[in-house]
Structure 1
Amino acid sequence: MMNLKKRLALLAFISLTSGSSFAQQTDYISLLNTQNHWVDSVFSKLNRRQKVAQLFFIRAHTNKGQAYADSVAEVIKKEQPGGLVFFQGGPVRQANLTNQYQKLAKIPLLVAMDGEWGLGMRLDSTISYPYQMTLGAIQDNALINQMGQQVAYDFKRLGMHLNFAPVVDVNNNPNNPVINYRSFGDDKYKVALRAVAYMQGMQQAGLLTTAKHFPGHGDTNVDSHYDLPLLNFTRQRLDTLEEYPFKQAIQAGISGVMVAHMSIPALDTTKNLPSSLSRPIVTTLLKDSLGFKGLIVSDAMEMKGVVKYFPEGEADLRAFMAGNDIIELSENSLRAIKKIKKAVRKKMISEAELDAKVKKVLAAKYFVGLHHYQPVNTQGIPNDLNRSTAKDLVQQLSDASVTLLQDNGLLQRLNFAQNTALVSIGTSSATPFQQELAKTYTNSKVFNLDKGASSAEVNRLLSELKSYAQVIVGVHDTRLRPQSKLDFNADVKNAVIQLASFPNSAISVFANPYTLGTMPGIEKAGIVVAAYQKDESMQRAATKVLTRQLTAAGKLPVTVNTFYVNGSGITVTNPAL
């Protein structure tokens, strides 16, 4: 008769190898080292074409109408791809469409999205958490970890399993057109710490994640969506700077890495070869040298940075041969599957390597519970995704990030009863910033200056503001994505500089922190607050600082100029009056 010790050992083994509890007890990387009955069983039933198809993730939307949705359904029925990547649309529509698509898949689909700041990056009626640049100002990484857990909840609530986040690029080029505010900052150590906190929060809550864009897209001035960027640095520079956060994420157990489309001669001298198609970069460097064992995902294969030089499906084949496990958003997945199948048959790449990739994808499906697939419960989605705990966390994150860059003593001198001008520049109507301030500054008047205001309008405003004892200014970038330079006309930019020279002027910048460097003279203001983005939560956070309800604790995550360097930020303890 089996003794108790052996029986307990057997029960433990059964639990680990056959139950969904395994995914809760270990991480994805560890799972890859474990024999898995479900993975082996599914794999054994696949022919070569079906194996290759598991590596392809196709594009899906819920804002393009029924004909588009039906066309995606046809691809799923015909090709049986491994997964989907959802883009713009709405949450309830996406949940319903996900359920429809999953019914068409013989093997449940792994569903992904770019949700760097949560579902709000892609979907309407959902919460947007702060951008990573804003998070870079936060000194409490536990808050960022909490954000990761909330993002994971949102993803899973909509039947998604993989977030193409975090961005771990070190943004040391202020003019970077594609990374910029999506990065945690320009200090590799701080970027790594915050990226790991965000990643661990998501993974602790059962979501797969990917660090991107390997080996580092932070110092480019070309957007790889439109052309192939050149990263012309030495191997030593790449090893010690760009790759550093990836190494830390790998060491912390990140489940995936996304490879960028960049030409990097120091790592591969092949002319015009994107890093995503380079075996020396994907296999020799990432897998062999850095020891990464998880999912390797190509950046979108429809981007001009990759298909410009490798058209007609050649890019997909080369991405496969380079070592990518998931080929994302092929221009033509049916053509690509045929090309790869033929390459394996001709032994251009081994059957064993194909099998290993497929098993990694199937293991990912097991890890997220697709071996016991359940459709998305579509009841109550809006309320679940807009829960008060998540909204409260957004405000906490905003409060923790707001940065007091300078104060000449004005913060203590601000008088809530004195005649005060509340000015918002870049907007044509009253802002939450002004509305909140007016509750405390009871003797105040609201002024707005549109970003395209005429010189006459600017001069009229400046003249009127001279009669006020205190002038509190908000500079607002109202664009969807905050760029390094404001889109204000010259007269309006000059108005900001003029206001900075007023006695008792306080300026809060609700814009990309790099814009501080485009307003020479702003440092003359009595108070300068960096508030990073246009969102209402950031406007409330700045208001709390200027009404002495909040002690600003944020630190600037990038160097802007000699006045404002990485780590700038002063703490003035101001009990409420």
Structure 2
Amino acid sequence: MQLNKSLLVVITALIFGNEFLAQEIQRKEPEFLKYTNSKWVDSVMTELTPDERIAQLLMIPAFSNKDEEHKKEVLKYIREYKIGGLIFMQGDPKSQLKLMNEYQQASKVPIIGAIDAEWGLGMRLDNTISFPYQMGLGAIQDEELIYEMGVEVARQLKRTGLHINFGPVVDVNNNPQNPVINYRSFGEDKLNVTQKGIAYMKGMQSENLLATAKHFPGHGDTDTDSHYALPQINHPFERLDDLEMYPFRELINEGIGGVMVAHLDIPALDSTGTPSTLSKPIITGILKERLGFKGLIVTDAMNMKGVAEGNEPGVVDKEAILAGNDLLEFSEDIPKAISEIRKAIDEGIITQKKIDARCRKILAVKQWVGLDNYEPLPVENIEKELNKPEAKLLNRKLVEASLTLLKNENSLLPLRRLDSLKIASVSIGASEITEFQKTLKLYTRVDDFQLDREANTTDIENLKEKLEDYNLVIVGLHDFSIRSRNQIQLSEDVQKFISELSESKNSIFSIFKNPYVLDKLENIENSAVLIEAYQDTEISQELSAQLIFGGIGATGKLPVSVGEKFKAGDGLELNGGLRFKYTNPEDAGMDSKKLGNAIDSLMNEAIDMKATPGGVVLVARDQKVVFHKAYGLHKYSDTIKVERSDIYDLASVSKISTALPALMKLYDEGKFDLQAGIEDYLPYFNNSNKEDIAFRQILAHQARFKPWIPYWKNTLRDNGSFKWYTFKKDSSARYPVRVSDELWLHRNYKKKIYKAIKKSPLEAEAKYKYSGLVFYLLPEIVGKISNEDFVDYINTNFYDKLGATTVTYNPSKKFPIERIVPTESDFNFRNEEIHGNVHDEGAIMMGGVSANAGLFANANDLAKLMQMYLNMGEYGGLRYINEATLREFTKTQFPENDNHRALAFDKPYLEYKGENSNTAKDASSDSFGHTGFTGTMVWMDPKEDLLYIFLSNRVLPTRNNTRLYKLNTRTKIQQALYDSILE
């Protein structure tokens, strides 16, 4: 009588214990096995000769970067011998897919394509994404991210015509000197390795891509590379079973489709010295029978010396089949392999039935991955599809989640009081400014230095002398290799410098190298802040810099122990969201393709139509900068391209960026009253027609003030020459105010401006009419209320703390002229091109310092101030203005009077007026901002947590150029932001 399976399991459990029962009941068989006896597999089997069935077990390498001879050789093996698969090596995705389509066309049975893509296609193919090495992934605490990576890796492999990934690596790397696994392992903890391996496997197999756990029974504890020799692992069976084989057992229980066998000598498992790839006791006895694995068993490459040394090609393939392998990778002699396996069948060493069963298993895999309905894949757009924004964002998320904060003394990170810090960055091992350093500069002023990894004493002493001027030094230790190996290769002098700097309490280290390297750096564990980033990539550099300033947080845990310095599992948690995160649009729920295409199109149109020579657009959502791009040239007649860091004249955006934040702060302190008038702060205005007009009315632009006064024209005589008490060609104590190199204004002329404002008539009716007159007075009002110099006050209380280092008046005194974008060619007043000085005539006559105009900034620094507004007064962990105050100042003040304005801030029109509106159709009624005469615009929308900055110099060469207005470029771009928000 035949026992059913359930009864057999129970009897077996009684004999061997409950552990066996639990494993047997929980084990999931690989999904592809259901096709082993399918109609399609049956039909293919009937068409294959016995030798062709053997050939289905063989796989050869294919390159997409080799010549026509290589392709002919591969085609020969496909056509003549009917091999079962190809493992693709170096090349590019487009060439590979073209070849795969051609190979499939030539094959009697669809070819199965495999690749080593442990960290994605970037491991083998150019122009594709490299996800983090598994050591970095081992630091991640969210397995869902690893699963998502598996899904994405599967999508990418399938798009390139592939069906098997020889991954994940589930070797437990418990030997820091391991030269071949090391950074390819999830770490030294078997549970962590297992959890990550299962997540990665399930992600891939959810998309019907076969995953292959490697390198069975465990390649982690060896200091020998099996590519060059046969490693020996001398541990007792109990240790191997409990540690090395644990992840394999668990992945098998979870239904992994494939297992790759390593080339190892493991006496406790096979005392004969036979490489594990050729060992029947290991493959059949342990993997198949003891662990119950029924899936696809694959050899590691058969050309590696760990198995090839002393073994004849073809013969060694036969031995691998006899040991129990199903698929042989990198078979070196296909004809000989087929002949030797056929001979073994003829001699009764193995039966044709067993070969057929393995052939069926491989065909079942082919059906499971969809090769029973094979169609050629299109080559067009493949690289674009492989590099989708969603995949790039996932890569960033993985790197971000891996960053491991090992030290953070006195909670130094995230850096807070930027106004108290003078920061230097040192990149060790980099010859030019790095992405790490560039990203640090986005947050505040950081002076950068480079130090060669072979630097000598003189080089280091020179650097140390320069660093004495700084109270914080941020060090990036960069890798010399594209692989994250356990090597430092630093001169003794550099190592000593690192050791000395580590003892300082004003040093931050970010290590873009293998974590094992930390054990080779003396005193590194004493540094105030230590970040382990695992790899030296642009993304890891960018995100490490963002971590330092609180743009992102840290959750990573060290996956390996580092000598006595750090243990596996070490890692401090740190919250992010303190300052801007620089990321992809999808990270903020926006479509990067829609956003980028729309802005590019509109900016290119504006430049082509000569509406502006160039410009910069910055977009942030949820305090994440998702778009920041420069366009065009500084001016039409030169070749200087606009850079994102270029500094622009903000024009009337100054109104909300200078005196206004000061007034709001003073309002918080009870020192500024919206019901007060100008005369309450400037007694000179007593008994004027401006008396008793409340600031609430003035700032909302319904105080009946005239829009503007042409102050410079008041300096002219009827014949066009300047009045004697106004300008001179040279500076002097009496004429100290520089308007141009040949125009120096009288020191008391400000009084004339004040007088003109005081005497100016009022409009007849109190309704909305935009006026800049009071903004000429506000710097003095702020100075009188605060009892501080106006510029010092706004620098100290706002710009310095924000790290907004380019937000300034008179930028030519602080920055190289090539960083400042020129504005108008002035042929009426100054008779020169305005470059580095304020465009507005009134503001330049005030010494360049006015709240009406005069402020300069780059987009990134201006965004910090605007984000503070959007956050209702808070940014970088500091509160600048009370929330209630910002809500008061940003709300429409007099809607009943058909006035849409807030206090100094502009607001959307009360009714949308189509192309004639001042904002995009979808801008909410809560939104606020301002525009500037030079072609600038800033806008914030609390409803969508959306920030938009547009900088241009549309007035070059002349203010008469109004094409930017006619094209409505700024507002159309603003609408594109809303259009790109994902549902």
1:433 pairs with 2:443 = no
For the residues of structure 1 that align with 2:270 and 2:535, how far apart are their CA atoms? 38
Aligned residue for 2:554, secondary structure, equals coil
CA change 1:404–1:318 in 2 (3 A) is same
State how 1:222-261 maps to structure 2 within 5 Å: 222-261=224-263
Over 3 Å counting, the alpha-carbon distance change for 1:115 and 1:413 in structure 2 is closer
Please give the alpha-carbon distance, in whole angstroms, between the structure 2 residues aligned to 1:411 and 1:98: 50
Shift of 1:82: 0.1
1:32, 1:360 within 8 Å by CA — same for their partners in 2? no
Q: Which amino acid aligns with 1:199?
A: M
**Superposed CA offset, 1:480-524 (max 9, x none):** 111112122222222222221223100000000111111020122
Larger mean CA deviation between 494-503 and 365-374 belongs to: 494-503
Q: Distance in 2 between matches of 1:34 and 1:56?
A: 18
CA distance in 2, matches of 1:573, 1:121: 32
1:384 aligns with 385
Superposed CA offset, 1:360-400 (max 9, x none): 00101111111111112111101101110000001001111
Q: Please report how far the alpha carbon of residue 414 of structure 1 lies from its aligned counterpart in structure 2 after TM superposition.
A: 5.1
Tell me the distance in 1 between the aligned counterparts of 2:127 and 2:280: 42
Name the structure 2 match of 1:169: 171
Change (3 A) 1:119 1:33: closer
Alpha-carbon contact 2:171-2:181 (below 8 Å) kept? yes
1:294 paired residue number: 295
Aligned counterpart, 1:316: 317
Residue correspondences, number: 550
Contact 1:28 1:367 in 2 (8 A): no
Q: 1:420 corresponds to which residue? A: 423
Distance 1:290 1:334 in 2: 33
Distance in 2, Cα, partners of 1:438 & 1:69: 49
> Counterparts in 2 of 1:4-403, with a 5 A limit?
28-29=30-31, 31-32=33-34, 35-271=37-273, 273-403=274-404
The corresponding residue for 2:908 is: none
Q: Secondary structure of 1:473's partner?
A: strand
Q: Do the aligned residues in 2 keep the contact of 1:224 with 1:305 (CA within 8 Å)? A: yes
2: CA distance, partners of 1:67 / 1:441: 56
Distance 1:77 1:28 in 2: 30
Q: How does 1:509-520 map to 2 (within 5 A)?
A: 509-520=511-522
Alpha-carbon distance in 2 for matches of 1:339, 1:95: 33
Deviation at 1:463, TM superposition (A): 2.5
Q: Distance in 2 between matches of 1:393 and 1:369?
A: 26
How big is the shift at 1:136?
Answer: 0.3
Q: Which residue of 2 aligns with 1:23?
A: none
Shift of the alpha carbon at 1:34?
6.0
What residue ranges of structure 1 are gaps of 5+ in the alignment? 1-25
Once residues 565 and 272 of structure 2 are traced to their aligned partners in structure 1, the CA distance between those partners, rounded to angstroms, is 42
1:49 is displaced (CA, Å) by 0.6
Task: Say whether the 8 Å CA contact 2:36–2:363 is kept in structure 1.
Answer: no
Q: 1:34 to 1:78 in 2, by over 3 A?
A: closer
How many angstroms does 1:71 deviate by?
1.8
Q: 1:502 to 1:348 in 2, by over 3 A?
A: same
The whole-number CA distance in structure 2 between the counterparts of 1:136 and 1:31 is: 31
Cα distance between partner residues in 2 of 1:312 and 1:250: 31
Q: What is the rounded CA distance, in whole Å, between the counterparts of 2:128 and 2:87 in structure 1? A: 18
Residue identity in the other structure for 1:160? L
Gaps of 5+ in 2: 1-27, 580-875, 877-983
* Deviation at residue 344 of structure 1 after TM alignment: 0.7
Question: How far apart, in 2, do the equivalents of 1:412 and 1:108 lie?
Answer: 55
Cα deviation for residue 309 of structure 1 reads 2.5
Q: Is the 8 A contact 1:247 1:290 kept in 2?
A: yes
Asked if 2 retains the 8 angstrom alpha-carbon contact of 1:506 and 1:526, the reply is: yes
Aligned to 1:488: 490
Give how far 1:478 is off. 3.4
CA contact (8 A) 2:553 2:574 kept: yes
Residue identity opposite 2:555 in structure 1: A
SS at match of 1:550: coil
Tell me the residue number matched to 1:570: 572
State the AA in 2 paired with 1:116: E
Could you tell me how far apart the structure 2 residues matched to 1:449 and 1:400 are? 29
Residue identity opposite 2:564 in structure 1: T
**8 Å contact kept, 2:424–2:474:** yes
C-alpha displacement of 1:33: 7.0
1:56–1:327 CA contact under 8 A, matched in 2: yes
Q: Relative contact order (C-alpha < 8 Å, sep 6+): which is higher?
A: 1
Could you tell me which residue of structure 2 aligns to residue 9 of structure 1?
none
More displaced stretch, 499-508 vs 153-162: 499-508
Question: Greater CA deviation, 254-263 or 308-317?
Answer: 308-317
Distance 2:266 2:29 in 1: 32
Q: 1:256 to 1:342 in 2, by over 3 A?
A: same
Residue identity (%): 46
For 1:234 and 1:412, the matched residues in 2 are separated by 48
SS of 1:84 mapped into structure 2: strand
**One-letter identity of the residue aligned with 1:571:** E
Q: Which amino acid aligns with 1:262?
A: L
Q: Separation in 2 of the partners of 1:561 and 1:226?
A: 27
Deviation of 1:30 (Å): 5.7
Q: By how many angstroms is 1:330 displaced?
A: 1.2
C-alpha change, 1:27 and 1:94, in structure 2 (3 Å) is farther
| 2:609 matched residue in structure 1 | none
Secondary structure at 2:442 match in 1: helix
Cα distance in 2 between the residues matched to 1:413 and 1:122: 39
Q: Classify 1:34/1:54 alpha carbon distance in 2 versus 1 (closer, same or farther; 3 Å).
A: closer
Cα contact 2:414–2:548 (8 A) shared by 1: no
- Superposed CA RMSD in Å reads 1.4
Q: 1:59–1:329: 8 Å Cα contact kept in structure 2?
A: yes
Displacement of 1:230 in angstroms is 0.3
CA distance in 1, matches of 2:261, 2:306: 12
Bigger proportion of residues as helix = 1
Distance 1:321 1:550 in 2: 54
How far apart, CA to CA, are the structure 1 residues paired with 2:499 and 2:126?
A: 36
Contact 2:315 2:336 in 1 (8 A): no
Question: 1:145, CA displacement in angstroms?
Answer: 0.2
AA aligned opposite 2:438: Q
Look at both structures and tell me which one has the larger radius of gyration over its CA atoms: 2
Aligned counterparts of 2:78 and 2:456: Cα–Cα separation in 1: 54
